[in-house]
Amino acid sequence: MANDFIKAFQPVEGLVAAINAEVVYVDIGARAGAVPGQELTVFRKAGSFVHPITGKTLGRYEQVLGYAQIRRVQANFSEAVFIAAPTAPAPRVEDGVRITRGRIRLAITPLLDLSQSPGDARRIPFMLASALERSKRFVVVDPLVVTDALAKQALRVEEVLAQPERAVQMAATLEVSAWLVPVLLERNGVKYLDATWISGVTGTPLFSRRQALVPPSALEEQRFPWGPRAED
């Protein structure tokens, strides 16, 4: 599951190809790694800055215009909803879009257990944090720090999922750009771990992944990897 999130947030850069009201089309498609739910920064290059002694051009200033949340993906382009930054001008064709090459700051909430499971699954946020940190794509806030911050604000995990304005406020407090909310579910006797990625900019869920959890007893009773499990 962690690999899905790592893959979805690899560095990428492109351009705004077309604009239709609040919808922008970017030249990053499935072939470049685009997936629904990605959030791209939309920026405009401004004047250059130079070395104070040599006068050599070192780069160009940039203005963040807002964010593009991808909704539909084709082979060579994607359709995204544009979320404007405060006081920023409207985007134009050929403005830039990117997922940063820098590490993304992320907060993982405590596990929301809807399965009424008798087991202790509190270590799941720590396991996710460890896997994402090792990828070098994320800076994950210590789950204990997140738990304490939520408690001080009397903010429940359910509110992070359901109340965008609270999610945005707490993201600003923790200085993160996104949330990951793990939820333990049970359907027809099978337990699932569901993880939802929530934008720290808008507080809206962007995408989620779900994986069935196999009890240890089932693995122990399966004598060979190619054989059927005991409950089959």
Angle subtended by helix axes 143-152 and 164-174, to nearest 10: 120
Distance CA 74, CA 137 (A): 25
Of 83, 99, 115, which one is at a domain's C-terminal end? 99
Among 71, 99, 127, where does a domain finish? 99
| Three-class DSSP category at 157 | helix
Please tell me the total count of domains within the chain.
2
Tell me if 229 is assigned to some domain. Answer: no
Cα angle, residue 230 at apex, residues 225 and 232 outer, rounded to 5°: 95
114 and 213 in a single domain? The answer is yes
Do residues 127 and 50 share a domain?
no
Residues 153 and 192 in one domain: yes
Q: Which residues contact 116 (CB under 8 A, 6 or more apart)?
A: 186
What is the extent of the structural domain holding 204?
Answer: 104-217
Give percent above pLDDT 90 in the chain: 74
Q: For residue 192, give the CATH number of its domain.
A: 3.40.50.10610
β-strands 23-26, 138-140: how paired? Answer: unpaired
Q: Is the Cβ–Cβ distance between 200 and 171 less than 8 Å?
A: yes
Chain centroid to CA 88: 23
Q: Could you report the per-residue pLDDT of 190-227, keeping only the tens digit for each? A: 889 999 999 999 998 999 999 998 665 544 455 555 55
Q: How far apart are CA 227 and CA 21, in angstroms?
A: 55
Query: How many residues can be counted in the chain?
Result: 232
- pLDDT at 100 exceeding the cut of 70: yes
Same domain, 41 and 91: yes
Closest CA relative to residue 39, chosen from 53, 50, 28:
28
Asked whether residue 180 is assigned to any structural domain, the reply reads yes
| pLDDT tier for residue 54 given thresholds of 50, 70 and 90 | confident
Residues 158 and 121 in one domain: yes
Which of 46, 77, 99 is the last residue in one of the domains?
99
CATH (domain of 52): 2.40.10.410
pLDDT, residue 230, reads 47
